[in-house]
């Protein structure tokens, strides 16, 4: 996942909103961004699994990133989007409130995640990027899928 070899090499992140917080993902992990489609719910699955949708013939699981991060349940609006990402060999859709922009940054400008004694933050946030007074949390996808599968998917 970590494709940055030199701390001064510029790389790109895609930023998005969940509630009033800003997050971002390595753009290399993103395959496409699409609008929201009603998902077919999966039985016996964690609350953050919204279900599955048809992505051009493939069955794509949709995770509510807001729920996954412990921030509540996403209220789907016309601005809601699904960010389709590669995680290991899988394609997974992440439901977020809105996509904002593409950020160019360097490894050097990323700050380590402050220890806020929150398990969710520790597991899903790789680092913090300070940007013109805003703070963007860099999401790690390594543990996004349900636990028992993470090892296999990685």
Kindly list the residues in this chain that would bind other proteins in the complex (CB under 8 A).
38-45, 51-54, 57-61, 90-92, 145-146, 148-149
| Closest CB to other proteins among residues 15, 51 | 51
| Closest CB to other proteins among residues 52, 131 | 52
From the CB of 36, what's the least distance to other proteins, in Å?
Answer: 13
| Closest CB to other proteins among residues 88, 127 | 88
**Residue 94 to residue 83: CA distance in whole angstroms:** 5
Nearest to 140 by CA among 154, 152, 149: 154
| Closest CB to other proteins among residues 51, 83 | 51
User: 3-state SS string over 91-116?
Assistant: EEEEEECEEEEEEEEEHHHEEECCCC
From the CB of 60, what's the least distance to other proteins, in Å?
Answer: 6
From the CB of 144, what's the least distance to other proteins, in Å?
Answer: 12
CA distances from 50 to 21, 57, 79, 114, 115 (A): 21, 19, 17, 30, 30
From the CB of 25, what's the least distance to other proteins, in Å?
Answer: 18
| Closest CB to other proteins among residues 54, 111 | 54
The CA radius of gyration of the chain, in Å to the nearest whole number, is 15
From the CB of 5, what's the least distance to other proteins, in Å?
Answer: 29
**Residue 148 to residue 6: CA distance in whole angstroms:** 33
């Amino acid at each position: 996942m970590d494709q940055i070899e030199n701390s001064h090499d510029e790389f790109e992140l895609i930023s998005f909103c969940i509630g009033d917080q800003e997050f971002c993902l390595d753009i290399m992990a993103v395959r496409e961004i699409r609008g929201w489609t009603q998902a077919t719910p999966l039985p016996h699955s964690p609350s953050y699994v919204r279900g599955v949708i048809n992505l051009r013939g493939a069955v794509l699981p949709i995770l509510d990133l807001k729920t996954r991060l412990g921030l509540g349940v996403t209220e789907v609006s016309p601005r809601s989007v699904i960010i389709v990402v590669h995680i290991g060999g899988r394609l997974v859709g992440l439901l977020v409130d809105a996509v904002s922009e593409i950020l160019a940054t360097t490894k050097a400008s990323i700050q380590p995640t402050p220890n806020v004694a929150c398990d969710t933050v520790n597991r899903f946030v790789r680092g913090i990027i300070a940007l013109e007074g805003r703070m963007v949390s860099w999401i790690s996808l390594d543990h996004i899928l349900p636990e028992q599968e993470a090892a296999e998917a990685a």
